[in-house]
Amino acid sequence: MVAYGLKRYNIFISEIVIEEAGFGDPESAKRRLEELKNFPHLELNEKVEEMALVYMERLEIPEKSFRDAAHLSVASVHKIDYLVTWNCTHLANGEVIKKLMKINESFGFHTPIICTPEELMEV
């Protein structure tokens, strides 16, 4: 399934993904980081940071989950088609997506399709 997705889509990551991949068991983290090293990185710029703070406030994302808001911001600011995640609390969640669409519309930003890897592969 992963190999199929790698051929079918242009895949981008951000430094937030790299940071998260480094968490947990050191040996597993090392393997994850090795797999990610050749993917192009999306820039974390002032607009990404600004929108992440907007999302934190308007989507009521707790401070401890700032990375979730940052993922949304990176994908929206960089006009990414799909944000793929297993996080169904703050990201792949119908109510969050509905609010995100309204926020992004008011700021003139693109809203990515937010889905789990399984949902994307069903397309």
- Give the CATH number of the domain where residue 98 resides: 3.40.50
Number of domains forming the structure of the chain: 1
Q: How far is CA 5 from the centre of its chain?
A: 16
Question: Cα separation of 100 and 104, whole Å?
Answer: 6
Residues 22-62 pLDDT 10s: 999 999 999 999 999 999 999 999 999 999 999 999 999 99
Rounded to whole angstroms, the Cα distance separating 114 from 82 reads: 6
Q: Mean pLDDT of all residues in the chain?
A: 92
CA distances from 81 to 9, 26, 110, 120 (A): 10, 32, 9, 11
Q: Give the confidence band of 6 by pLDDT, cuts at 50, 70, 90.
A: low
Kindly state the percentage of the chain with pLDDT values over 70. Answer: 94
Crossing angle of helices 94-107 and 66-77, in 10° steps, is: 50
Go through 25-42 and write b for each residue having 16 or more CB atoms within 10 A of its CB, e for each that does not: eeeeeeebeeeeeeeeeb
Give the range of the structural domain holding residue 103, as residue numbers without chain letter: 2-121
- pLDDT surpassing 70 at residue 123: no
Task: Report if pTM > 0.85.
Answer: yes
| Least confident window among 3-7, 28-32, 77-81 | 3-7
